[in-house]
Chains A and B, each alone.
Chain A
Amino acid sequence: MSATHPTQRGVRVDIQGLRKSYGGQEVLHGIDLTVQPGEIFALMGPSGSGKSVLLKHVIGLEKPDAGEVSIEGEPIRSQAVRDRYRMAMVFQSGALLNSLTVAENVGLYLVEHRLKPPAEIVRIVREKLDLVGLNGVEAKYPNELSGGMKKRVSIARALVIDPQLILYDEPTSELDPLIAVTIAEEIVKLKRRIGVTSLVVTHDRDLAFGIADRIAIIQDGTILFAGAPADVKRNPDPLIQRFLNAEFKIHIES
């Protein structure tokens, strides 16, 4: 994620035999996945299935017990690789720094890495906030924003990095349907505009089937199936069908 930009297109992500345990309990049981450059890949599964843990491994926040995550064939744990490829993550909570204003949060990467002069940073911050439909919030602090606004600021912060890979952790959770659609549109626009590779972790079926090029279903730390949305829908696995077709049908016996 340095100033040197080797390529503008998205990057390929390979996950091979990834295993992770916490306190003796294995939460990832040998995950194998490939995300192609420039595709939107949705990882769906019920809560506690290991989606977010997998995402943390992809961005290098967690060290696997076994297996490897690589970007364009190079292991993610290497600092050189993290310096070479520009990656960003949109956290479920937004993870904005509460002591900084919105503008400071969005421009943090550029300021800390001294990539642009201050006046240029102000311009870029405004431009990225415009992209996610936020105007006039630069001076506000995260605790003055709604959940949807925080998430959009978090996306703007990711955009500043000019990423080749963006990871989204539950981008539409806690949002109303209108804002959720806006976020989904942003994800697709980004892919079209800069060809970024997007890995979206979600249990929002509408989001996944609405925007993803491919979808993987994960259950108890194991990938049940990965393929095009239509193939996922047709897959006869009862666990997949139960997850995809779960509905509110509440029968109250009088």
Chain B
Amino acid sequence: MFQNFGEMIVLLWRVLRLAPQTWRQRGKVMEQLFEIGNASLLMACILSIFIGGVIALQIGPVLVERGMQSYLGGIVGLSMCKELAPVMMAVLIAGRIGSAMAAEIGSMKVYQEIDALQTMNINPNSYLVLPRLTAISVALPLLVIFSILIGWIGGALVCVYNQHIGISFQAFFSDLSQTVKIKHLLNGLFKGYVFAVIIGVVSCHQGLKTMGGPRGIGRSVTKAVVNSIVLILILDYFLTRLLQYFD
């Protein structure tokens, strides 16, 4: 496990040193961005609207009972911003994109395509890892913003149309706009960015160390997804503690 951590830190360091080459790889970054968007936007939309709705559904009746329904917008707004959108989108991207990254790089490793790159003096970190890490670092924070907005809409719809809650759109968004500040959005964006780096590095690292044919590729994909999600959930706690200092 410690060896894996060490290797991932080395990989991240090597890719960061290649950052000046990002502009040269812009074509591949755009390709990856398109793939990430294509593979996750619809799913992100469905997940976010239902998660926003479920929070409203769970908390709404409790607050109504205590006459505190006017706080519902703020609670849904904050929980989407600070916690649910970044973590949910990160888990989604780990499953859909991290797995694809590990599988693609893993099969390139197994079928000697990476060896071929090296014999042409093409650095696999620059050719394969840098565009993927850049794309995911841009895409995940954007998806987090998207998820927050859709989650709010989901929460609002439930608040308006559920007979046990029944507050207006205006009331919901009025409380939300008073409670949620730019710093809360930045909080979610920062988490999204850190999670993106984790998913990118874990998945590319697993892909690059794939051995042993199709079964090896399968193992790498599973490890990439599981390790990413475990790291995201552990790091989420520490990031939350850290970000509380800026609240």
Contact = CB atoms under 8 A, between A and B. Distances in A.
> Are A and B co-members of a single complex?
yes
Contacts of A97: 108, 113, 116-117
Nearest to B123: A112
A95 interface: yes
A47 interface: no
Interface residues of B, number: 15
Interface in B113-167: 113, 115-122, 127
A113 B122 CA distance: 8
B119 A59 contact: yes
Contact of A112 (B104, B111, B119, B127): B127
Contacts, number: 51
Contact of A61 (B107, B108, B118): B118
A1 B113 CA distance: 18
B119 A89 contact: yes
Interface stretch (A64-72, A80-88, A203-211): A80-88
Most buried by A among B108, B116, B121: B116
Contacts of A59: 119
Contacts of B168: none
A contacts with B: majority SS: loop
Interface in A85-133: 87-89, 91, 93, 95-99, 108-109, 112-113
A93 B108 contact: no
Nearest to A169: B112
B contacts with A: majority SS: helix
Contacts of B108: 97-98
A99 B111 CA distance: 13
B119 to A, nearest CB: 4
A83 B121 contact: yes
Interface in A42-70: 56, 59-61
A83 B122 CA distance: 11
Contacts of B122: 108-109, 112-113
Most buried by B among A82, A109, A112: A112
Given A97-B108, A112-B127, A1 B121 contact: yes
A99 B121 CA distance: 19
A91 B115 contact: yes
B39 to A, nearest CB: 16
A108 B113 CA distance: 12
A161 interface: yes
B118 A109 contact: no
A95 B115 contact: yes
Given A89-B116, A112-B127, A95 B111 contact: yes
A61 B117 CA distance: 11
A91 B107 CA distance: 16
Interface string B49-85: 0000000000000000000000000000000000000
A161 B117 CA distance: 12
Given A97-B108, A112-B127, A61 B115 contact: yes
B113 A96 contact: yes
A18 B65 CA distance: 80
Nearest to A79: B121
Given A97-B108, A98-B111, A112-B127, A87 B116 contact: no
Contacts of A89: 115-116, 119
Nearest to A100: B113
4 closest residue pairs by CB, A with B: A95-B116, A95-B112, A1-B121, A89-B119
Given A1-B121, A109-B121, 10 more contacts: A1-B120, A82-B121, A91-B116, A95-B112, A96-B116, A98-B113, A108-B120, A112-B120, A113-B122, A157-B120
Interface of B: 104, 107-108, 111-113, 115-122, 127
21 contacts: A1-B120, A56-B115, A60-B118, A61-B115, A83-B121, A89-B115, A91-B115, A95-B112, A95-B113, A95-B116, A96-B116, A97-B108, A97-B116, A98-B108, A98-B113, A99-B104, A108-B120, A109-B122, A112-B120, A112-B127, A113-B122
